[in-house]
Structure 1
Amino acid sequence: MKLTRSSPLSPTQTRSVTLVIPACNEEGNLERLFRFIEQTFDDLGYALPVLLIDDGSSDNSPQILARLSHQYSFLKVIRHPQRRGVTQVWKTALSHVTTDWILWGQADLESDPRTDIPLLLEACTPGVDAVAGWRQNRRDKKLFASSFANNACRFVFGSRIHDMNWIKIVRRDILTQLPIERITHRYLLAVLSGQGYRVTEVPTPWHTRFSGQSKFGFGRLFSSGRDFLLLLAWWYSSQSSPTYSTVRKNRKKVMSEI
């Protein structure tokens, strides 16, 4: 792992940001979602490239997305033939995105892009490496599992982030240096905090899903726990490695120079 010493300019300065949206069977949300995104760009005064990754949808999402990609010039769609999971969506995104920053969105409209995209961009000030959205007034069946994971990561990694697995904006160059398949999407921000990167958060309003069903279930709860154990094994082995020690020393030096 090699530390990137120089930070890119903030996304509000360069507009070098790609909005990445994972989607699986979200046919009832897509048209409304992109109306909201278009309104967001109108309010900002500029458009960002949007990469939607269809993770093996079996509903009418592919047909809807084909039409929307012609309607909105900022939209690019990549389709996984079969469902691969969110971590693989991250890997697909990293193989296609070239901007300095990745803004991770949601297709279910629990996050409203009209409020949340500007909030994340404004919070990403110079010197910040990542910003997490923090869901306010949240009421869903994933709350207990999320709270457990967030508290565990605060204990292990020293992370102060309240809501790791939600919308976020992250430096792309950092992501390309990390073993995403080992860290998984769930614990990305915790690892960045543990490595000394500057990760901050901004409160964002939570909304009930507009259409469709949540993909959360017992299987996902089990996989989250499994991924956390695998992450711990990687984390403690990397702490004792020369590479990890070099990264920590270099990062502290860079932070002292800011």
Structure 2
Amino acid sequence: MQISIVIPLLNEEESIKELHDWIAKVMQSNHFLYEIIFIDDGSTDSSWKIIEELSDLNKSVKGIRFLKNYGKSQALHAGFKAAQGEVVITMDADLQDNPEEIPEMYKMIKVGGNHIVSGWKKKRYDSIITKNIPSKLFNWAARKTSGLKLHDFNCGLKAYQNVVIKNIEVSGDMHRYIPVLAKNAGFSNISEKVVQHQARKYGSTKFGAERFINGFLDLITIWFVSKFGRQPMHLFGALGVLMFIVGFGFSIYLGVDKLFLNPTGRLITERPQFYIALTAMIIGTQLFLAGFLGEIMVRSRKNDTRYTISNKINV
């Protein structure tokens, strides 16, 4: 199998068949062996019925149906587990990603040796206020935090070596940061390609303004995980020891002052330094324990199932 095309979707009944026909045309004209994996993320329209009909007509079509809506990251995770192609392409189901880009992206992976090729929607057909400006701010923050010089982290059109998607865990809302996850896993050959972006033809976007808030929160999370995810004691333990030393230092000062310098002065408990010392030592101890518990959790955690699949087709 040369190419696996992974397409997560939610209530996209109008566009699925048109997208399938477009992809099939591109694949056949380039003589690719391919599979199309649709992941129905809990659609309430006739999306799954259309996927079933397409699978009857084209055995390259495969389907995974979630019992309810779990999110794009979980849909991609399921698609990645099922993908068998040497190169894995992800794209959205709303016809805003152009399948004509696939052959060149495949070439950049197979011939160019890239681990990942990320699409860049340089010219967008989205709302300037609700998408363009927030997206620019989001991408700027992601570049500064991750060190990856990509212009469009959130572009759904990406190409991966199969080994990449089999060795990363996509959870929560981390689908925006798959290149960062791959980089942290050691896949550093990551390139970018300007891709054609198209106006939405049917329906409306399934993502609201809250996705940018969640995106920034996820960015902080992935920064923390990449830095300290394997050894949380390095952060919490260091902060805890520092706070404890500060508190212990104030305690020594108060003791020396009371015993030798000013024995007839105020009681230690009447001095603000006493409460600073007490608070600092308590916080330091709690931070140290947080780091210790984090280390135990990292070493004992097991992979968990984050979604329930109700139906499969050809998978």
TM over 0.5: yes
Q: What CA distance in whole angstroms lies between the structure 2 residues aligned with 1:190 and 1:238?
A: 14
**1:222 Cα deviation after fit:** 2.4
1:21-40 map, 5 Å: 21-40=7-26
Q: In the alignment, is the contact (CA less than 8 A) between 1:164 and 1:186 conserved in 2?
A: yes
SS at match of 2:195: strand
- Larger-Rg structure: 2
1:91 is matched with: 77
2:53 is matched with: 67
**1:119 Cα deviation after fit:** 2.5
Of residues 195, 210, 214, the one that matches 1:204 is 195
User: Structure 2 vs 1, CA of residues 140 and 190 (structure 1 numbering), >3 Å: closer, same or farther?
Assistant: same
1:9 is matched with: none
1:146 is matched with: 135
SS at match of 1:136: coil
Using structure 2 for the length normalisation, give the TM-score: 0.67
Of residues 190, 193, 197, the one that matches 2:180 is 190
1:58 is matched with: 44
Instruction: In structure 1, give the amino acid aligned to 2:115.
Output: D
2:224 is matched with: 233
Q: In the alignment, is the contact (CA less than 8 A) between 1:22 and 1:54 conserved in 2?
A: yes
1:35-50 map, 5 Å: 35-50=21-36
User: Structure 2 vs 1, CA of residues 193 and 152 (structure 1 numbering), >3 Å: closer, same or farther?
Assistant: farther
Q: What CA distance in whole angstroms lies between the structure 2 residues aligned with 1:172 and 1:183?
A: 21
SS at match of 2:121: strand
1:18 aligns with 2:18: no
**1:32 Cα deviation after fit:** 0.9
2:298 is matched with: none
Instruction: In structure 2, give the amino acid aligned to 1:31.
Output: K
Aligned-residue Cα RMSD (Å) equals 2.0
Of residues 101, 105, 110, the one that matches 1:120 is 105
Aligned residues: 226
116-125 or 72-81, larger mean C-alpha shift = 116-125
**1:169 Cα deviation after fit:** 0.8
Q: What CA distance in whole angstroms lies between the structure 2 residues aligned with 1:186 and 1:127?
A: 23
* Runs of 4 or more consecutive aligned structure 1 residues displaced over 4 Å after TM superposition: 193-196, 238-241
204-213 or 124-133, larger mean C-alpha shift = 124-133
**1:153 Cα deviation after fit:** 1.9
Please give the per-residue CA displacement for 1:99-148, whole angstroms capped at 9, x wherever unaligned. Answer: 333110121000121x2112211222342111011113213132223222
Q: What CA distance in whole angstroms lies between the structure 2 residues aligned with 1:204 and 1:122?
A: 14
**1:149 Cα deviation after fit:** 2.2
Structure 1 unaligned regions, length at least 5: 1-14, 242-258
Q: In the alignment, is the contact (CA less than 8 A) between 1:21 and 1:107 conserved in 2?
A: yes
1:5 is matched with: none
SS at match of 2:34: coil
SS at match of 1:133: strand
1:245 is matched with: none
2:288 is matched with: none
Instruction: In structure 1, give the amino acid aligned to 2:32.
Output: Y
**1:76 Cα deviation after fit:** 0.4
**1:190 Cα deviation after fit:** 2.9
Please give the per-residue CA displacement for 1:149-202, whole angstroms capped at 9, x wherever unaligned. Answer: 221121122211111222101123223332322681111113434656110111
**1:240 Cα deviation after fit:** 6.3
Q: What CA distance in whole angstroms lies between the structure 2 residues aligned with 1:47 and 1:127?
A: 20
Q: What CA distance in whole angstroms lies between the structure 2 residues aligned with 1:56 and 1:47?
A: 29
Q: What CA distance in whole angstroms lies between the structure 2 residues aligned with 1:77 and 1:130?
A: 24
Instruction: In structure 2, give the amino acid aligned to 1:109.
Output: L
Using structure 1 for the length normalisation, give the TM-score: 0.80
Q: In the alignment, is the contact (CA less than 8 A) between 2:35 and 2:85 conserved in 1?
A: no
Seq. identity, %:
25
Structure with bigger RCO (C-alpha 8 Å, 6+ apart): 1
2:165 is matched with: 175
54-63 or 166-175, larger mean C-alpha shift = 166-175
**1:232 Cα deviation after fit:** 1.7
Of residues 182, 204, 218, the one that matches 1:213 is 204
